[in-house]
Structure 1
Amino acid sequence: MTNPEQDILRPHAEQLYADELEALARSDDRPRPQRWNMSPPAVVTYLLGGTLSDGTVISPKYVGPRRLMEVAVATLATDRALLLLGVPGTAKTWVSEHLSAAISGRSTLLIQGTAGTPEEAIRYGWNYARLLAEGPSEQALVPSPVMTAMREGKIARIEELTRIPSDVQDALITVLSEKSLPIPELGTEVQAAKGFSVIATANNRDRGVNELSSALRRRFNTVVLPLPATADEEVSIVTQRVQALGQTLDLPEIPSASEEIRRVVTVFRELRSGLTSDGRTRVKQPSGTLSTAEAISVVTHGVVMSAHFGDGVLRPSDTAAGILGAVVKDPVADAVVWTEYLEAVVRERKDWADFYRACREVDH
């Protein structure tokens, strides 16, 4: 019998890792905050991976400093909300989803922040047909993900908080400070059940878009997620995520992909930092972020190219077009940066000759 979840292109964390979450909750004998599915140390184990006493292997969801995850989890055990801050591609959304899945068993109480996000998305809205027919009532009320999380003692997630207009952001102040959401039309309020909290994410390149007010910022504990510290760490992240995506997309397993993954990561890190890995040559930096998430996308695209249009082995010709698309966002300035990098750095590396030829072919 077919599992319906096998037909879902992108299962939620609590679906994809249901077995791990169940095993962790079953073996967890540490104190749990009220309405948490597991203890704070178990949440950290879920994020960073490990082996349980019964032999169950927990896969790592985040590769990075353990202390950052401990601070994030500890924040959610207090009355402070959590703000995950970082440049694009530092796994803010990924960490937010997995924290919610581990703590609440539900990661879908989500608000996607945009310039058009209305206040109703944070507070509540109305079924206008019922409102006009019956007037304000509990039945006509349409709760927001935040209101639902407050009632059920769950985690609400807000993506790209600084993309939301400032006056809409401020609807969160009462929620986070008083742990209540007034409903003046009904003369009542929703008081948050224990276990409720908010995880917000923000791109620190968006500073100045819609800065958080000092009153709202005080309600958050901010954890800055860094880019991977080393090439090995970034290679590990890209490898794990590409394997996971490959299983979801039913791609054939590609042998010996490690060399090309490391090459993609090296290119991204050198252009991102403006310096070659040996520290000897300075290179111009393109306008894009060249994040780890983009490296994952480039390698995944290369795997698809290799599987369907190649010989089943990941080669430079499979990743060249993806790298060009990731680097050259500005067709004028970035094209110059990329050409100079190819000629000054890639061409000089004798073991990168195939990659150089593949990139030049795509470039022309």
Structure 2
Amino acid sequence: MTATVTVEDADEQFQRPPAEVRHAEELAALRAADGDPRPPGWQLSLRSARRFIVGDEQAGVSRKFVGNVSLVERALVTLATNRGLMLVGEPGTAKSLLSELIAAAVSGTSSLTVQGGAATTEDQIKYSWNYALLVSEGPSPRSLVAAPMLRGMAEGRIVRFEEITRCPLEVQDCLLSLLSDRVIAIPELDGAQGMVFARQGFNVIATANTRDRGVNEMSAALKRRFNFETVFPIPDFDTELALVEAEATALLLQSGVKAAPRQDVLEVLVGTFRELRGTAGHGERMSTVMSTAEAVSVAHAVGVRGWFLRGEAGSAADVVASLAGTAAKDSPEDLARLRRFLEQDVARRKGGQWQALHDARHLLAD
């Protein structure tokens, strides 16, 4: 049974409501004021969809994606054609967030999603059957269970395909005819019921991590049906700091933490992440992903640790304690790299929180 998410109960029942619920008021206001031409099947024009994603202070629309505006424009233009959109990039660069925001703006819903993985099957992409009804009544529209791709085509909506390269090649290639012919054949059904043609507004947004693209490399035929856009990490320190602060503050409020994160602690946290992923241009680069999303997660853990253990906002020592779980994910060498960074590089930094970070380096061994 699928629950219907509404604005009234989202804050109380769900940890993370979908974008169309979180930003329902903005979407409604944009639709009401939208006088620009819309592509067939779209709920917003390209200009209003861009405004929803990158923000517009004069219109009271918040910025939801921190990234290149031209990337957002190219993505929207791609979806207005018959080409699918492929978002690639390092893990944690907000590819999934961008696809969710685009789907919410274009179709009014971001819930038509396929989560790719080694166990993903073609049934989970296109359709399956209610076998009790199938046995008792035979193949019929009533016994058909529509998967996201079939629903997206029938309703004229955007379908999101997360981590497509984690799927086996034969599963990936079931998209070839869908993206070329814009039709799903259901051979078990007779006549017109056996063909589902895509309505205006249907398209596909897929995502793939650059570190995982070799897991199941896409075929050349499937690549030709997508326009590729790369989502890069945030290059600017101040922009990344502001994003981490905003996201961590929202997560801490959801977790019952009443103390806002300390600015000086967040500066040390973001600076550490940028050093360890090589953004700052020096220092040892970690093999594990030190993304902005990971920085938000660590900032959240720092605030939870400080509030529930000591009744405060969290300190640089909590940063060290929380970093151990992030650094040890992929390689034991990463923990050694982090230890050398704390012992050598941080010791040369000026500032009370950098000194506190250096003094707390022993917590990595606990």
* Contact 1:150-1:190 at 8 Å conserved across structures: yes
Instruction: Assess if the C-alpha contact under 8 Å between 1:9 and 1:249 holds in 2.
Output: no
Question: Gapped runs of 5+ residues in structure 1?
Answer: none
Distance 1:135 1:37 in 2: 37
Q: Aligned partners of 1:60, 1:310: CA distance in 2, in Å? A: 34
Match of 1:363?
365
Question: Which moved further from structure 2: 28-37 or 309-318?
Answer: 309-318
Given that 1:254 and 1:314 are in contact with CA atoms closer than 8 Å, whether structure 2 keeps it comes out as no
Q: Secondary structure at the match of 1:125?
A: strand
- Corresponding residue number in structure 2 for 1:110: 113
Question: In the alignment, does 2:333 pair up with 1:333?
Answer: yes
* Alpha-carbon distance, 1:362 to partner: 4.3
Letter paired with 1:89: G
3-state DSSP of counterpart to 1:139: coil
**For structure 1, which segment, 237-246 or 25-34, has the greater mean C-alpha deviation from structure 2 after superposition?**
237-246
**Counterpart residue identity of residue 115, structure 1:** A
**Are 1:267 and 2:237 an aligned pair?**
no
Q: In the alignment, which residue of structure 1 is the partner of 2:214? A: 208
Distance 1:101 1:49 in 2: 14
SS in 2 for 1:347: helix
Aligned-residue offset at 1:305: 1.8
1:329 deviation in Å?
2.5
Aligned to 2:163: 160
Distance 1:340 1:97 in 2: 39
Q: Check the 8 A contact 2:252/2:300 in 1, yes or no.
A: yes
Instruction: Look up the SS of the partner of 1:341 in the other structure.
Output: helix
- Once the two structures are superposed, the pairs formed by residues 232-247 of structure 1 within 5 Å of their partners are 232-247=238-253
Give 1:311 deviation, angstroms. Answer: 4.3
Kindly indicate whether the alpha-carbon contact (under 8 Å) linking 1:328 and 1:338 is maintained by their aligned counterparts in 2: no
The 5 Å alignment of 1:284-323 reads 284-323=284-323
SS of the aligned residue for 1:136 comes to coil
1:54-73 aligned at under 5 Å gives the runs: 57-73=60-76
Rounded to whole Å, the distance in 1 between the matches of 2:283 and 2:57 is: 43
Q: Which amino acid aligns with 1:353?
A: Q
Q: For 2:216 and 2:331, locate their aligned partners in 1 and report how far apart those are by CA, in whole Å.
A: 29
Indicate if the aligned counterparts of 1:50 and 1:60 stay in contact, CA closer than 8 A: yes
The corresponding residue for 1:25 is: 31
2:3 paired residue number: none
Shift of 1:190: 0.4
Partner of 1:132: 135
In the alignment, the residues of structure 2 paired with residue 286 and residue 313 of structure 1 have an alpha-carbon distance, to the nearest angstrom, of 28
- Matching residue within 203, 216, 226 for 1:197: 203
Q: Does 1:223 align with 2:229?
A: yes
Task: Say whether residues 1:172 and 2:175 are aligned partners.
Answer: yes
**Residues 151 and 73 (structure 1), Cα distance of their counterparts in 2 relative to 1, 3 Å cut:** same
Cα offsets for 1:229-264 (capped at 9, x unmatched): 121221122122223323433432416x22221211
Residues 49-78 of structure 1 show CA distances to partners (whole Å, capped at 9, x for unaligned) of: 11345xxx2111111111000001111111
Aligned with residue 11 of structure 1, among 13, 17, 37: 17
CA contact (8 A) 1:324 1:359 kept: no
SS of corresponding position for 1:121: helix
C-alpha contact (below 8 Å) 2:249/2:260 kept by paired residues: no
Stretch deviating more after TM superposition (169-178 or 307-316): 307-316
Scaled by the length of structure 1, the TM-score of the pair is 0.92
Structure 2 unaligned residues grouped into runs of 5+: 1-6
Against the structure 1 CA distance between its residues 194 and 333, is the aligned structure 2 distance closer, same or farther, given a 3 Å change threshold? same
Q: What is the identity percentage for the equivalent residue pairs of Structure 1 and Structure 2?
A: 40
The TM-score, its normalising length taken from structure 2, stands at 0.92
Alpha-carbon shift at residue 193 of structure 1 (Å): 0.4
Does the aligned pair in 2 maintain the 1:27–1:52 contact within 8 Å?
no
Q: Following TM superposition, by how much is the alpha carbon of 1:288 offset from its aligned partner in structure 2, in angstroms?
A: 0.5
Which secondary structure state, in structure 1, belongs to the residue aligned with residue 150 of structure 2?
Answer: helix
The offset of 1:287, in angstroms, is 2.3
